[in-house]
């Protein structure tokens, strides 16, 4: 039965309504230096992430994958060993980057529905120098316990290097509580930004262990941390991107801060999951982030067919998987500017489709 429901879900995260109408030629842009904008944005973000004192942020016009690559090259020396947590495609990227750049590494693949709240099985890797993990494995919507991995890293004296993309503004990221030494956020992915912007947050512990510059590379962190060189760095974030980010963080601060954003996304996720609990669908993971829900069809239903039918019959755009899991499960995004009314219409359409 065809419905009039028209909802777009899971493909965009439009958190920047001001960006479309923002004129970079306004006096706001002309009267303030880029360094002033960066400094103000840095302080806002460090406070929201509860980063340790004297932490620094690199704002880079790069993709999230490039930020991961740069973090490995700057924090894992060729003679050191990294432990990569390969819980899916996102985590596997860390291993692939280590292999590409001939960094020594081990791969640990957690069992299904293991969120690493117990790190006993990691004890054999205590001789490693860094642990690389994607806090939210977006390919399966599985969230790991960063508190537990952070405690493990402190006990083993390993750097805790975390890709926090898709957790930012949707789930808790507390660098001190989770003992995160380096945190990467792909703002373009998280906020549907119109340009590439990644943020790498470095604690004093990470900064003290930066790898000496031994290879030609235009992403050496020590250069970006130097005020004498910073303005001339090739990957420095563009002015308009920084103004947009600063405005977004100021808006968050005005509206009860990051906790309010997390609580709202959580309410959307809970509303959706409860609303489809009677359908022939199973949650792909027991430990899902607020940002997304992955659903496995039961009783022979095809995930790719469901995605296609919901788009053609109801005007719904979902998040299919693009790999071997294409027919096994599909994903729904709850972050960005997803509203309660849109979520209720999505639930109604899915109820109509299955029953």
Structure confidence by residue, pLDDT tens digits, 1-13: 333 333 333 333 3
Residue 290: pLDDT over 90:
yes
Give pLDDT, residue 23.
40
Q: What confidence category does residue 140 fall into, taking pLDDT thresholds of 50, 70 and 90?
A: confident
CATH class, domain 258-354, is: alpha beta
Of 85-99, 104-118, 158-172, 220-234, which gets the smallest average pLDDT? Answer: 220-234
Q: What confidence category does residue 324 fall into, taking pLDDT thresholds of 50, 70 and 90?
A: low
β-pairing, 136-137 vs 142-143, is: antiparallel
Q: Is the dihedral of CA 315, 318, 323, 328 positive or negative?
A: negative
Give pLDDT, residue 203.
98
Q: What confidence category does residue 34 fall into, taking pLDDT thresholds of 50, 70 and 90?
A: confident
The rounded mean pLDDT for the chain is 85
Mean pLDDT of 240-252: 89
Q: What confidence category does residue 150 fall into, taking pLDDT thresholds of 50, 70 and 90?
A: very high
Give pLDDT, residue 229.
52
Q: What confidence category does residue 17 fall into, taking pLDDT thresholds of 50, 70 and 90?
A: very low
pLDDT digits (tens, 9 = 90+) for 191-231: 544 567 899 999 999 999 999 876 656 788 888 887 655 55
What is the spatial distance between Cα 275 and Cα 346, in angstroms, rounded to a whole number? 9
In CATH terms, 27-254 corresponds, of 3.40.960.10, 1.10.260.40, 2.40.50.700, 3.40.640.10, to 3.40.640.10
Give pLDDT, residue 188.
58
What percent of the chain lies above the pLDDT cut of 70?
A: 83
Mean pLDDT of 150-160: 98
What is the spatial distance between Cα 306 and Cα 308, in angstroms, rounded to a whole number? 5
Per-position DSSP letters for 176-203, written without gaps between them? TTTT-SEEEEEHHHHH--SS--EEEEE-
Mean pLDDT of 248-263: 90
Give pLDDT, residue 19.
30
Sheet containing strand 292-297, strands side by side: 281-283, 292-297, 330-333, 319-320
Q: What confidence category does residue 105 fall into, taking pLDDT thresholds of 50, 70 and 90?
A: very high
What percent of the chain lies above the pLDDT cut of 90?
A: 60
Spans of all domains in the chain: 27-254, 258-354
Mean pLDDT of 117-146: 95
Query: What is the reported pTM?
Result: 0.87
Residue 276: pLDDT over 90:
yes
Give pLDDT, residue 195.
60
Residue 25: pLDDT over 70:
no
Strand partners, 296: 282
Give pLDDT, residue 163.
96
Give pLDDT, residue 289.
94
Q: Is the dihedral of CA 312, 313, 316, 321 positive or negative?
A: negative
What is the spatial distance between Cα 41 and Cα 199, in angstroms, rounded to a whole number? 11
């Amino acid at each position: 039965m065809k419905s009039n429901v028209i909802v777009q879900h899971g493909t965009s995260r439009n958190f920047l309504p001001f960006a479309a109408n923002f004129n970079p030629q306004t006096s706001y842009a002309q009267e303030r230096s880029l360094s002033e904008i960066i400094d103000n944005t840095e302080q806002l973000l460090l406070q929201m992430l509860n980063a340790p004192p004297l932490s620094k942020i690199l704002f880079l016009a790069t993709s999230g994958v490039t930020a991961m690559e740069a973090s490995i090259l700057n924090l894992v020396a060729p003679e050191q060993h990294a432990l990569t947590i390969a819980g899916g495609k996102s985590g596997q990227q860390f291993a692939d980057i280590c292999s590409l750049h001939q960094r020594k590494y081990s791969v640990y693949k957690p069992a299904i529905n293991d969120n690493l709240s117990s790190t006993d099985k990691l004890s054999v890797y205590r001789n490693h120098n860094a642990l690389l993990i994607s806090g939210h494995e977006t390919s399966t919507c599985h969230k790991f316990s960063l508190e537990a991995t952070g405690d493990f890293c402190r006990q083993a004296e390993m750097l805790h290097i975390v890709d926090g993309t898709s957790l930012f503004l949707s789930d808790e990221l507390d660098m001190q509580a989770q003992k995160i030494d380096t945190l990467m956020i792909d703002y373009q992915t998280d906020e549907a930004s119109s340009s590439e912007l990644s943020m790498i947050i470095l604690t004093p512990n990470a900064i003290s262990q930066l790898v000496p510059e031994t290879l030609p590379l235009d992403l050496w962190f020590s250069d970006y941390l130097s005020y004498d060189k910073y303005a001339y760095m090739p990957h420095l974030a563009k002015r308009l991107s920084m103004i947009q980010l600063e405005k977004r963080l100021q808006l968050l601060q005005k509206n009860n801060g990051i906790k309010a954003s997390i609580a709202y996304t959580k309410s959307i996720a809970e509303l959706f999951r409860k609303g489809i609990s009677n359908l022939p669908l199973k949650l792909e993971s027991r430990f899902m982030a607020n940002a997304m829900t992955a659903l496995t069809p039961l009783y022979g239903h095809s995930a790719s067919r469901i995605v296609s039918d919901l788009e053609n019959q109801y005007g719904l755009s979902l998040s299919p998987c693009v790999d071997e899991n294409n027919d096994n499960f599909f994903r729904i995004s709850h972050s960005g500017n997803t509203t309660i009314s849109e979520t209720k219409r999505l639930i109604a359409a899915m109820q109509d489709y299955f029953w």
